[in-house]
């Protein structure tokens, strides 16, 4: 499927068929997430796939304040962030891997003093809160990739960000050094909503300067 076709066909679906989703399709959706770009190849994400109906209902009630679309989904992907991926040690390891693969040509002096020594390139300088924010940004990129590959697989998604991360960690038994950023609902649609309206192109795109 053409990428733009997938973009135009994507919808946020809130009513899913009860049909189970084939494992190979779920894996292809997750592979799209795995291939998403991330800052310095840090890949600060982990994904927990939930198909157990009782656990999905628990997520709906305790994590998503009873949002019915969560309970109706046959698959819920719990998207977790890894702030420590932006620690100096792990960030350096990720960048060194890029150097080893020939993606970048940085000597250790430049890597340590110019890149990891600068807060613009290394979020750990700005503290754990900023590291968590940066991890969240990368998760959103991966989640966007998942929504498009879901369309390619004949599936649909709903991106649920209105959740309690603390409750999610408790329900899913997720370690304290990770945080739950959002839920991606995945399944076959039981509805066919219209295309959502978008702002006019001329109102959001400017050339050379903002007008």
Q: Count up the domains in the chain and report the number.
A: 1
Residue 117 has pLDDT above 90, yes or no: no
pLDDT of residue 81: 96
pLDDT recorded at residue 166: 94
Report the distance separating Cα 43 and Cα 76, nearest Å.
Answer: 20
What does the mean pLDDT of the chain come to?
Answer: 94
156-160, strands of its sheet edge to edge:
45-50, 75-81, 179-187, 156-160
CATH number at residue 54: 3.40.109.10
Here the contacts of 96-103 (C-beta below 8 Å, separation 24 or greater) are 97/41, 98/40, 98/41, 103/41
What is the C-alpha separation between 147 and 69, in angstroms, rounded?
Answer: 16
CB 86 within 8 A of CB 115: no
- Asked whether residue 59 is domain-assigned, the answer is yes
pLDDT of residue 169: 94
Residue 48 resides in a domain = yes
Radius of gyration of the chain (CA): 19
| Residue range(s) defining the domain that contains residue 75 | 3-84+137-204
């Amino acid at each position: 499927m053409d990428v733009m076709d997938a973009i135009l066909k994507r919808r946020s679906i809130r009513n899913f068929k009860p049909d189970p989703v084939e494992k190979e399709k779920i894996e292809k959706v997750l592979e799209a997430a795995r291939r998403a770009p991330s800052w310095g190849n840090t890949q600060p994400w982990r994904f927990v796939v939930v198909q157990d109906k009782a656990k999905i209902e628990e997520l709906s009630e305790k994590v998503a304040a009873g949002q019915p679309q969560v309970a109706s989904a046959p698959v819920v992907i719990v998207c977790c962030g890894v702030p420590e991926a932006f620690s100096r040690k792990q960030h350096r390891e990720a960048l060194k891997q890029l150097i080893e693969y020939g993606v970048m040509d940085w000597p250790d002096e430049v890597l340590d003093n110019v890149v990891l020594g600068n807060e613009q390139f290394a979020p750990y300088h700005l503290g754990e809160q900023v590291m968590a924010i940066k991890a969240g940004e990368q998760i959103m990129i991966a989640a966007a990739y998942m929504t498009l590959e879901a369309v390619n697989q004949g599936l649909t998604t709903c991106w649920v960000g209105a959740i309690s991360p603390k409750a999610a960690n408790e329900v899913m038994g997720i370690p304290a050094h990770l945080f739950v950023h959002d839920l991606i609902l995945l399944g076959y649609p039981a509805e066919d909503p219209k295309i959502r309206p978008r702002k006019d192109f001329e109102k959001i795109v400017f050339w050379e300067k903002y007008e």
